[in-house]
Amino acid sequence: MAKLTVLSEEETSIEILVTDANRAFVNSLRRTMIADVPKFAIDQMRIELGVFKDEATGEMYESNYALSDEQLAHRFAMLPIPTFHNDFFFQDECPDCKDMVEDQRGCPSCQIIYTISAAGEEGGRYIMASELNVIGDRRLDIPEAYGSIPLTKLYEGQVLHAYFYAIMGRGRDHSKYSPVSGVTFQARQHGIMNVKTRSKHLFDLNLNITAKDFDKDGKLTDIDKVKLLKNDLNHVGDGTDLQADFNDAITLQDVEGEFIFKFQTDGSMSARTCFVQACKELAGRFSVLSDDFAEAL
């Protein structure tokens, strides 16, 4: 059974040490996060077209702007929509909508509706993601950190009135549904001092790592320090003047069965939620497989 140790964690990024695992297992987690963790994203957009009169000022506006409707729809679709897995359903699994025809699906349990009503001004005005209003629960507003995403720019006489319909989906259908970016893992490494005398060439450069950081067996195991050592070794590695003198006096060695896994989320859910959800997805898939095996054997 794999063991997990959180090395560092922020709201939207996490670094985890996975032990007692193999590369295939960690890669399955990675791929599940990219393609299978459910997430909300805007799937449909309805733009009100025509000429509008502002009753208060008597000004006329037209739904006419530099970006095409398709470009605009794509920009809105890329926004991170807060996702609460326990409160919402896929449309084809929604208890209220699953039996309806596809076009008529959409209820507060499986769809989020946003609106925007923005007018331009002389000299142009950026329309930001924070101007989207959610119909219903305020916690579904675009997260504050992403409110300054420019979506379009409107000039005098231009207006954008639109409705947006967000539904739950998976990254394998469209990347807008993928909640993660930069999902990577690499084998944990130890620094090994092979030749003490030649290692001095590195320590004499007064970089980050010193001889004292290695234990009495000549090993460096601390994860943060190994990262620094990796950078330091660039100063004595291939293509440097010291390459011949140093001659691999210190090397990095992969630790069997240990991997450092890290990723960022797009802000639609916390990194921890995403990881837990990926584990649930994987567990669900394997339980179906084991049931099938049990039935067949």
Binding residues for another protein (CB under 8 A): 60-62, 64-67, 71, 75, 78-80, 124, 126, 129, 145-153, 155-158, 175, 178, 180-182, 264, 266-267
Query: Shortest gap between Cβ of 12 and another protein (angstroms)?
Result: 9
| Structure letter (DSSP) for residue 131 | G
**171 burial via Cβ count (<10 Å: 0-12, 13-18, 19+):** buried
The least CB distance from residue 247 to another protein, in Å, is 31
Q: Among residues 75 and 235, whose Cβ is nearest to another protein? A: 75
Rounded to the nearest whole angstrom, what is the least distance from the CB of residue 116 to another protein in the complex?
15
Nearer to another protein, 148 or 247 (CB): 148
Taking the least distance from each CB to another protein, the nearer of 150 and 284 is 150
Instruction: Judge whether 137 and 39 are in contact, CB under 8 Å.
Output: no
State in angstroms the smallest separation of the CB of 82 from another protein: 13
Residue closer to another protein, measured from CB, 50 or 95: 50
Least separation in angstroms between CB 160 and another protein = 12
Burial group, residue 282, by CB count within 10 angstroms (0-12, 13-18, 19+): middle
Half-sphere exposure of 30 (CA within 13 A, CB side): 20
Q: Which is nearer to another protein, 69 or 241 (CB)?
A: 69
Q: Smallest distance from the beta carbon of 238 to another protein, in angstroms?
A: 21
Report the distance separating Cα 297 and Cα 274, nearest Å: 35
CB of 252 to another protein, least distance (A): 22
Q: What letter represents residue 260's amino acid?
A: I
Shortest distance in whole angstroms from residue 165 CB to another protein? 18
> Exposed (0-12), middle (13-18) or buried (19+): which is 109, by Cβ within 10 Å?
middle
With b meaning 16 or more CB within 10 Å and e meaning fewer, what string describes 57-81? eeeebebebeeeeeebbebbbebbb
C-alpha separations of 11 from 93, 221, 254, 272 in Å: 29, 27, 29, 8
C-beta closer to another protein: residue 2 or 66 = 66
Determine the straight-line distance between the first and last CA of the chain, rounded to whole angstroms.
24
Report the residue number, 110 or 149, with the smaller CB distance to another protein: 149
Closer to another protein by Cβ: residue 199 or 277: 277
Q: Identify the three-state secondary structure at position 70.
A: helix
What stretches of 194-289 adopt beta strand conformation (E)?
A: 219-220, 250-265
Which amino acid is located at 224 in the chain? Answer: D
